[in-house]
Chain A
Amino acid sequence: MTQVLINAPKTARKGEVIELKALILHVMETGFRPGTNGRIIPRNIIERFTASWNGAEILRMDLSPAIAANPFVSFFAVATESGKITFRWTGDEGFVVEESVAIDVA
């Protein structure tokens, strides 16, 4: 079960600057820590986060092992047209999560 919390306005005026926030449950295991058996726990992080507005990419972010667990990303975008904002996280061990929210731009 993957957990995502997204905070995005449902409506916006055309040209308005809106804040988008996304929080995801992820261990962000660095790959540098030994486990209880003394062996290094393999790295397991989210490598990339992207946001797209009606399919057009508006933000791309590379994440590093130094980022804490459950990364919270907040950014701004200009509301241009009604449609769908899609958030996508990809990472180690085949991690792929996609969540979309609808927005009405008037």
Chain B
Amino acid sequence: MALALLPAVFAASFAMAQAGADRAGADKRRSGYQDMGVALQKMQDDDTANPGMLFVQLGQQLWAKPAGANNKACADCHSLADMKGVAARYPAMSKDGDKPIDLEGRIRLCRTVNQQAEPLATESRELLSLAAFVANQSRGLPITPPADPRLAPFREQGAAIYERRQGQLNLSCAICHDDNAGKKLAGVTIPEAHPTGYPLYRLEWQALGSLKRRLRNCLIGIRAEAYPYDAVEYVALEIYLMDRARGMVFESPGVRP
């Protein structure tokens, strides 16, 4: 009896070990945080040294400030508790439309449709601050893209862009961020392109920036023509990248070199 049980127990423990190994395999993904120096990691971790927190603070003020013809503030409709986890599952489908939107897009939409206010310009300090404040509510949570089948074609589009060579340097995202991640490019470690900390403070920018800005940076870096600011290609890429980073810890506002 005991002998008969033994292989079963062994098989079960082996399966568990395998599952554990698989999890460990998933954990081999590295956030850009792990590839930067200790000084920068400490800067990100300390809320009074992380410059991104300046924008979070600004966003908090804007969150409570009424705007537009309806004279409503974000706080009048949304409770802050409801914002927990939101940034970790965007981009998502817009409620009425048939196109996906990222967090910044959602805020802009809310601003023009619900608040009846002047639209916020892309990459403006107000928009980034609001996004950073909302994103900050999800800090420490796992990235959980929604299981919305309508997102699938966009995710595929994003994956195709990721794999496609483009620009004068004829590089795809995958060549750097999959094949050569962890190696150096001009003295900087090539990250695995997991968007864990957006909007984030980049020392090179000396400002907070969105994932879209980062994507535009990369496109210009490979000497490709950047898509226009409202192009769906960015959102498609964001959907793909967030799906690729599924389960990783959301850390906005990140700090990156």
A25 near B: Cβ within 8 Å?
yes
Q: What residues of B have a CB within 8 angstroms of the CB of A6 in the complex?
A: 48
A95 near B: Cβ within 8 Å?
no
A7 CB contact (under 8 Å) in B49, B54, B61, B206: B49
How far is the CB of A24 from the nearest CB of chain B, in Å?
A: 8
How far is the CB of A90 from the nearest CB of chain B, in Å?
A: 19
- Given A1-B58, A3-B54, A5-B57, A21-B49 contact (CB < 8 Å): yes
> What sequence of 0s and 1s flags, for each residue 70-92 of chain A, a beta carbon within 8 Å of any chain B beta carbon?
10100000000000000000000
Q: By the criterion CB–CB under 8 Å, are B51 and A72 in contact?
A: yes
Q: By the criterion CB–CB under 8 Å, are A72 and B49 in contact?
A: yes
- Given A3-B58, A5-B54, A25-B54, A68-B49 contact (CB < 8 Å): no
B130 near A: Cβ within 8 Å?
no
A69 near B: Cβ within 8 Å?
yes
B48 CB contact (under 8 Å) in A7, A25, A28, A68: A7
- Given A6-B48, A7-B48, A72-B49, A23-B58 contact (CB < 8 Å): no
Q: Which residue of A is nearest B43, CB measured?
A: A72
How far is the CB of B47 from the nearest CB of chain A, in Å?
A: 8
- Given A68-B206, A69-B207, A21-B48 contact (CB < 8 Å): yes
B74 near A: Cβ within 8 Å?
no
Whole-angstrom CA separation of A23 from B47 in the bound complex: 10
Whole-angstrom CA separation of A1 from B54 in the bound complex: 11
Whole-angstrom CA separation of A5 from B46 in the bound complex: 11
Whole-angstrom CA separation of A7 from B53 in the bound complex: 13
> What sequence of 0s and 1s flags, for each residue 51-70 of chain B, a beta carbon within 8 Å of any chain A beta carbon?
10111011001000000000
Whole-angstrom CA separation of A68 from B202 in the bound complex: 12
Q: By the criterion CB–CB under 8 Å, are B49 and A23 in contact?
A: yes
Q: What residues of B have a CB within 8 angstroms of the CB of A25 in the complex?
A: 51, 54-55, 58
Name the interface residues of A1-28: CB closer than 8 Å to any CB of B: 1, 3, 5-7, 21, 23-25, 28
How far is the CB of B127 from the nearest CB of chain A, in Å?
A: 15
Whole-angstrom CA separation of A69 from B47 in the bound complex: 17
Q: By the criterion CB–CB under 8 Å, are A23 and B48 in contact?
A: yes
**Extra contacts besides A70-B206, A72-B51 (9): CB < 8 Å:** A5-B47, A5-B57, A7-B46, A23-B49, A25-B54, A25-B58, A28-B206, A68-B203, A70-B51
Chain A residues packing against B (C-beta within 8 Å): 1, 3, 5-7, 21, 23-25, 28, 68-70, 72
